[in-house]
Amino acid sequence: MGLLPHVFAYGYSLDEFNYSNDDVDRRRIKKNCIPVSILHGDHTDGEGLRRPQLKEDAEEEEDEVSNEHSTLSKNVETFQVHQNRIANEHIKRYKCHTCEPPTCLNPTTCTDAIQCWTSRVRESSGQESVMRGCTKETEQLPLICQTPSFSGQQKRQASGQFQVDCCIGDFCNSGDFPELPPLYTKNVTVQSDSMDYALKMTAAILGPVVVIGTLGAIILFLMRRVHRRRLCNESRLDPDTYYASDDLLRATAAGDSTLREYLENSLTSGSGSGLPLLIQRTMAKQISLTECIGKGRYGEVWRGIWFGENVAVKIFFSRDEASWNRETEIYSTILLRHENILGYIGSDMTSRNSCTQLWLITHYHSLGSLYDHLNRTTLTHQQLLRLCLSIANGLVHLHTEIFGTEGKPAIAHRDIKSKNILVKNNGTCCIADFGLAVTHQQATDQLDIGSNPKVGTKRYMSPEVLDETIRMDYFDSFRRADIYALGLVLWELCRRTVSNGIAEDYKPPFYDVVPNDPSFEDMRKVMGQ
The catalytic residue positions are 415
- Torsion sign over Cα 413, 419, 421, 422: negative
Q: What is the 3-state secondary structure (H, E, C) of 331-365?
A: HCCCCCCCCCECCEEEEEEEEECCEEEEEEEEECC
Pairing of the two strands 250-251 and 344-352: antiparallel
Would you give the distance in Å from CA 490 to the centre of its chain?
45
E strands, 101-144, in order: 108-113, 115-123, 128-135
3-class DSSP state for residue 502? strand
How wide is the angle at C-alpha 506 spanned by C-alphas 504 and 509, nearest 5°?
110
Q: Which of 276, 280, 191, 286 is closest to 241 using CA atoms?
A: 286
Show Cβ contacts of residue 284 under 8 Å, excluding neighbours closer than 6 positions: 241, 242, 243, 248, 250, 348, 349, 350, 359
3-class DSSP state for residue 276? coil
The DSSP call for residue 316 is E
Contact in structure between 43 and 53 (CB atoms under 8 Å):
no
Q: Which of 365, 391, 375 is closest to 293 using CA atoms?
A: 365
**Could you tell me if residue 171 is left (phi over 0), alpha (psi between -120 and 50 degrees) or otherwise beta?**
left
Q: Please list, residue by residue across 348-386, b when 16 or more beta carbons sit within 10 angstroms of its beta carbon and e when fewer do.
A: bbbebeeebbbbbbbbbbeebbbbbbbeeebbeeebbeb
Residue 330's alpha-carbon distances to 52, 269, 344, in angstroms, are 146, 20, 10
Would you give the end-to-end CA distance of the chain in angstroms? 154
**Dist. CA 323–CA 436, nearest whole Å:** 7
How many other β-carbons are positioned within 10 Å of the β-carbon of residue 310?
Answer: 14
Q: Is residue 155 annotated as involved in ligand binding?
A: no
Contact in structure between 338 and 396 (CB atoms under 8 Å):
no
Numbered residues of the known binding site: 314
Numbered residues of the known binding site for ATP: 314
